[in-house]
Amino acid sequence: MPLDKATVARIATLARIRVPEEELESLAAEMDKIIGWVEQLDEVTTDDVPPMASVVDVELPWRDDEVTDGDCRDKVLANAPEKVEGFFAVSKVLE
Amino acid sequence: MSELNCLTMAQARDGLAKGDFTSVELTQAHIAALEASRELNAFVTETPEQALEAAKASDARRVSSNSGGGEAGSMEGLPIAIKDLFCTEGVLTTASSHILDGFTPQYESTVTANLWRAGAGMLGKTNLDEFAMGSATVTSYYGPTVNPWRRSGDDKKLVPGGSSGGSAAAVAARAALGATGTDTGGSIRQPASFCGIVGIKPTYGRCSRWGIVAFASSLDQAGPMTRTVRDGAIMLGAMAGHDARDSTSADREVPDFEAALEKGVKGLKVGIPEEYQMKGMSPELLALWDQGKAWLTAAGAEMVPVSLPHTKYALPTYYIVAPAEASSNLARYDGVRYGLREEGETLQEMYENTRGEGFGAEVTRRVLIGTYVLSAGYYDAYYLKAQKLRTLISRDFREAFDKVDVLLTPTAPSPAFAIGEKMDDPIAMYLNDVFTVPASLAGLPAASIPAGLSGDGLPLGLQLITHPFDEETMFRAARAVEDAAAFNAEPTLMAGDGS
């Protein structure tokens, strides 16, 4: 299925990126070309191949389930575009 | 005495130790060089005051260590540049993206913290492709970086490669002794090749990713960019090490890389992957590769043909895996916690406006591709398929390494190209990484060494790839290539050389 304008618009909504209407067409064409190009992977039979889970042969480490960080509210908020009384602030979500 | 900014890192280290000059003098020379090379647009942010503070503190430590008060660090007093993808406490960190406008980290990345602990100082933050997505440092919100090299008899501005193009240009132009880079599919090695310097991507897990702005987490790895192999060994030694805050960081001793350098390549088996000899490869690149084989043979190594049958699938695999991971990593830029916010009628609109305004064209394209390949109904066809190919690509390398110790290949399919070229065809741009992406997908250590010049006078690199965590063999082979190549050509624009 070619990647059309409507699909790109749907994907852009999923990705929460505003794409101007006039750019959808060219973006769809570019993405369709890229997706068509990556589809050459279908040439390879991979039925018995496990997907890679970890690029190096290491076991993920365990640690004790304890608090190791925190108590730094002001640092967490330092870069917020808007904050109110120790919280991140956004425009009203519920009516 | 030659200009202090033209010393290698090892020379500067030894000069400081002997007391020939101070870190303040060395740092001042680099600040002057950085200012003289501003036309390259290598830096997003310059931090001269911070560099001088670090130099003064280092000089004080050296006085105290000379009188028995503790040892000098392995990079004591050396001024370096940091790719603007590493979070630096209190210093603007942009990832060269509009969406991180004004972002001032409240913490220091592990790699940079390690470098400061070793005694180094920061000259500034270098330019990159937005979120490290690119091969030419042209997608930066802060404008393209210019390669300090020019074609002979041609003044056209060339790209420095990317994404670590600002770091590569700064080091090549002698505006920094070395710089950090990050490499996801070639972002250290390809710009190193384009700018005639040494670039090292260590094994995945060798350097902590904590505090590095994430692009594709299963591929991202930090490494040094320097003018010599020895400098790369010194700097990697300072950057590397286990970090509990990155669960993929390897809990292994960091070897003394510098000690491995002069062990030679006698008896080493060097694999030549037949699939890297691609259709349409330029004769001068083939000749350089042959030259590399001849150098290593003369130094006592044995060339062994090997096959990596899935090589041609590495790039398409990468262009599924990397955008998929990027789409999820970049979900955090929501206009709420840091950086840019563009208001909207609703919260959803605010997200969309912020991200629409904040991300450039290439980042948008990759996030959309990533969202598409992960979306319901397509996950198995694309992402799962790519992860299976990754297993096969990794297996190819493992089988080759049953027979050989190190692989020798070209780093990039061409020398630096002009700014503006390859801009309208994403796939043509992606092909820059055809020789570097396979090792990234397999997490292997790889280095690019400047080995010669193209017909029109631009640097070309050769790549060496080894087993996971066998950077020492990579350094031995890299040193042998460097020694034989005796690459001493200098870029057209070199800061502060008096020419």
* Domain regions of chain A by residue span: 5-42
8 Å CB contact of A18 and B251: no
pLDDT of residue A84: 95
Q: Does the pLDDT at position B2 exceed 70?
A: no
Mean pLDDT of B379-406: 97
pLDDT digits 0-9 by tens, A32-54: 999 999 999 999 999 999 999 88
- A44–B contact, CB cutoff 8 A: yes
Helix (H) or strand (E) holding B125: strand B121-126
- Is B350 in contact with A8 (Cβ distance < 8 A)? no
Nearest to B201 by CA among B239, B144, B246, B170: B239
Task: Considering only residues B420 and B438, tell me which one the structure prediction assigns the higher pLDDT.
Answer: B438
**From B58, B187, B193, B414, active-site residue:** B187
Task: Please give the biggest Cα pair distance in chain B.
Answer: 70
**Partners of residue A34 in chain B, C-beta under 8 Å:** 319, 365, 369, 426-427
- Structural tokens at position B468: 């996971």
Asked whether the beta carbons of residue B385 and residue A14 sit closer than 8 angstroms, the reply is: no
Percent share of chain B, pLDDT over 70: 99
Total domain count, chain B: 1
Comparing alpha-carbon positions, the chain B residue that sits nearest to A69 is B245
Q: Where are the alpha helices (DSSP H) in B37-133?
A: 48-66, 110-117
Chain A nearest-CA distance from B125, in A, is 19
pLDDT confidence band for B420 (50 / 70 / 90): confident
Mark whether B135 is an active-site residue. Answer: no
Looking at the predicted structure, is the pLDDT value of residue B1 above 70? Answer: no
In this predicted structure, what is the pLDDT of residue B498?
Answer: 43
Give me the mean pLDDT over the B403-429 stretch: 91
**A-interface mutation test, from B204, B208, B368, B393, most A Cβ less than 10 A away:** B368
Can you give the pLDDT at residue B499? 41
CATH code of B418's domain:
3.90.1300.10
Q: Say if residue A18's pLDDT is above 50.
A: yes
Average pLDDT, chain B: 96
- Tell me the average pLDDT across B49-74: 91
The predicted structure's pLDDT at residue A69: 87
Strand order across the B406-410 sheet: B43-46, B121-126, B79-83, B178-183, B221-226, B198-201, B446-453, B459-466, B406-410, B269-273, B302-306
Say if A50 is an interface residue toward chain B (CB within 8 Å). Answer: yes
Find the domain containing B481 and state its range.
1-499
B83 a catalytic residue: yes
Residue B75: φ, ψ to 5°: -125, 35
Neighbours of B182 (CB within 10 A): 27
Question: Is the model more confident about A59 or about B265?
Answer: B265
